[in-house]
């Protein structure tokens, strides 16, 4: 079963996408080491690219994008997200001063 992305093999396209995004991540970290960009921008770049990589792997390698029942597969994969969000909100609401008590290396 060969799936296509832009007329090319899905696995090869995903591999190329992952390699390009990894090069961008390495470039962002290298720019921060040389003082070109600040730590906030590096964090934004790394988290954003990490989310894009996650979706690329989930949609192609886990076949969520290509299957006929992709909606139920996507909902199944996203089901734990609901509990994670509830946990984060519950912790934030029950101890609102928790971020202030973090060690200095955890804060900007």
**CA-to-CA distance for 97 and 57, rounded, in angstroms?**
36
Domain ranges of the chain: 1-66, 69-108
What single-letter DSSP state applies at residue 68? T
Q: Is 0.85 topped by the overall pTM?
A: no
Contact status, residue 13 vs residue 66, Cβ threshold 8 Å: no
One digit per residue, pLDDT tens: the chain, 108 residues? Answer: 456 666 777 778 888 889 999 999 999 999 888 888 888 888 899 999 999 998 888 777 666 556 666 666 667 777 888 888 888 777 777 766 666 776 677 665
What is the pLDDT at residue 20?
93
35: left (phi over 0), alpha (psi -120 to 50) or beta: left
What single-letter DSSP state applies at residue 3? -
**CA-to-CA distance for 75 and 11, rounded, in angstroms?**
23
């Amino acid at each position: 079963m060969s799936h296509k992305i832009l007329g090319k093999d899905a696995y090869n396209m995903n591999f190329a996408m992952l390699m390009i995004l990894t090069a961008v991540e390495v470039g962002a970290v290298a720019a921060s080491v040389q003082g070109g960009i600040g730590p906030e921008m590096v964090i934004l770049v790394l988290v954003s690219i990490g989310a894009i990589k996650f979706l690329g792997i989930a949609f192609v390698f886990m076949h969520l994008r290509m299957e006929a029942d992709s909606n139920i597969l996507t909902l199944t994969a996203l089901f734990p997200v609901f509990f994670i969000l509830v946990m984060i909100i519950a912790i934030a609401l029950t101890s609102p001063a928790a971020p202030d008590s973090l060690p200095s290396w955890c804060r900007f």
